[in-house]
């Protein structure tokens, strides 16, 4: 981030209160602070495998106020811009944590859309105010134009007079065009055990103090649940807006999803975007790196494909990302019977 750690989303809830006597030793390292957020990017479960990234900031932080401010993650940012394929010279605005709550009707039922997008990217340009329509405000009269101008300025947009354009005003750096949703999915932790000292904040403090430490484990099941509930929905909504969604994942997470669902992501390696898009990031040969350096993740692979298989008659089923909700493998009924028999006779009956 080229900035102080902000806890990586919800990790700020593990903030350490340095005013407490229990953290006296840590306070001596940070004497000017009263609180400290555990800056934990990843967890290394053993020496033979690369770390599991648990903080979305570790994979990618998008957006900067000045060109070239950040030092890190530039290779991934460049790769992402290449696959998004906006025209060269496009100025992209970055909006973080965009929350949409929408209620509407579908098939005579009230439906709700309640999702938060990690990042939304939109081209920005100077646009005549008469070409802008916001909810309940259409620039079709002088009164509405003034109302729209006040609303835009109230939200921080710069508006200047220009009698050469329709409406008489130009709105500067206004979002307009094809939106791109960028979602960053990292691994979840089990939470740890306070008595054993394996919670994130406890392990962090011991590590900083140079003491033996053990971090919480990876919550594998929660990874799948979080991914499957959002992957298709957020991809579909971007397509409906004329844009696309790109998911940023570590390759360890790609491996896990491919092993535990009916979806083999490796069947979808591609060079261009499709309906569902995943950018896989890897340490590569992680053992060659110095653990005390800040590391860019060198390997990046795009996987993309359709949400559902093409509807072609008399053809074999084609792989698609809908397979993520299907079983990874069909266990034989004999496996069910083995488990039932091991449990012994039924203790309850229906008559």
DSSP result, 101-122: EEEEEETTEEEEEEEEEEEEEE
Please state the φ and ψ torsions of residue 101, each to the nearest 5 degrees: -120, 115
For 149, half-sphere exposure in the C-beta direction (CA atoms, 13 angstrom radius) is: 17
**Phi, psi (5° rounding) for residue 27?**
-60, -35
Burial class (CB in 10 A: 0-12, 13-18, 19+), 230: middle
For residue 109, the Cα-to-chain-centroid distance in whole angstroms is 30
The two three-digit tokens of residue 317, written as one number: 């089923």
Per residue in 43-92, pLDDT (tens digit) is 888 878 888 898 888 899 888 766 666 678 888 999 999 999 999 999 99
Closest among 267, 273, 269, 263 to 239, alpha carbons compared:
273
Percent of residues, the chain, with pLDDT higher than 90 = 49
Q: What is the H or E stretch that residue 84 is in? A: helix 74-84
Q: Between these two residues, 41 and 122, which has the higher pLDDT value?
A: 122
pTM given for the model? 0.88
Strand bridging mode 169-175 / 109-128: antiparallel
Q: Are 325 and 228 in contact (CB under 8 A)?
A: yes
- Residue 9: pLDDT band (50, 70, 90) is low
Confidence of residue 114 (pLDDT cuts 50, 70, 90): very high
Specify the DSSP class assigned to residue 86: P
Question: Helices (H) and strands (E) in the chain — how many of each?
Answer: 8, 12
Cα separation of 279 and 60, whole Å? 11
User: In 3D, which of 143, 174, 175 has the Cα closest to residue 158?
Assistant: 174
Query: Given this model, what pLDDT does residue 40 score?
Result: 86
C-alpha gyration radius of the chain: 25
Reported as a single tens digit per residue, the pLDDT across 175-214 is: 999 999 999 998 888 877 888 888 888 999 999 999 999 8
179 by DSSP, 3-state: which? coil
Angle at which helices 220-240 and 251-260 cross, to 10°: 100
Average pLDDT value for residue range 97-123:
91
């Amino acid at each position: 981030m080229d900035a102080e750690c902000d806890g990586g989303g919800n990790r700020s809830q593990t903030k350490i209160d340095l005013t407490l006597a229990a953290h006296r030793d840590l306070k001596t390292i940070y004497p000017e602070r009263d609180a400290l957020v555990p800056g934990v990017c990843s967890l290394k479960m053993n020496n033979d495998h690369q770390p599991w990234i648990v903080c979305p900031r570790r994979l990618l932080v998008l957006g900067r106020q000045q060109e070239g401010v950040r030092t890190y993650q530039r290779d991934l940012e460049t790769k992402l811009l290449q696959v998004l394929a906006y025209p060269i010279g496009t100025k992209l605005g970055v909006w973080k944590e965009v929350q949409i709550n929408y209620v509407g009707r579908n098939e005579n039922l009230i439906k709700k859309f309640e999702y938060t997008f990690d990042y939304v990217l939109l081209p920005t340009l100077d646009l005549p105010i008469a070409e802008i329509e916001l909810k309940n405000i259409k620039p079709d009269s002088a009164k509405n134009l003034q109302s729209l101008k006040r609303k835009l300025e109230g939200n921080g947009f710069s508006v200047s007079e220009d009698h050469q354009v329709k409406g008489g005003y130009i709105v500067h750096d206004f979002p307009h065009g094809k939106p791109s949703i960028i979602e960053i999915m990292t691994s979840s932790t089990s939470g740890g055990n306070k008595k054993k000292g394996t919670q994130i904040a406890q392990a962090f403090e011991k590590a900083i103090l140079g003491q033996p430490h053990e971090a919480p484990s990876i919550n594998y099941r929660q990874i799948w649940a979080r991914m499957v509930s959002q992957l298709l929905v957020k991809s579909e909504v971007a397509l409906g807006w004329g844009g696309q969604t790109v998911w940023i994942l570590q390759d360890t997470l790609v491996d896990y999803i491919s092993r535990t669902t009916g979806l083999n992501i490796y069947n979808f390696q591609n060079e261009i975007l499709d309906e569902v898009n995943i950018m896989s990031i890897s340490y590569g040969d992680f053992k060659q790196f110095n653990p005390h350096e800040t590391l860019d993740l060198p390997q990046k692979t795009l996987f993309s494909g359709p949400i559902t298989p093409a509807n072609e008659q008399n053809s074999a089923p084609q792989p698609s990302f809908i397979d993520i909700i299907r079983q990874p493998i069909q266990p034989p009924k004999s496996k069910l019977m083995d488990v039932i028999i091991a449990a012994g006779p039924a203790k309850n009956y229906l008559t």
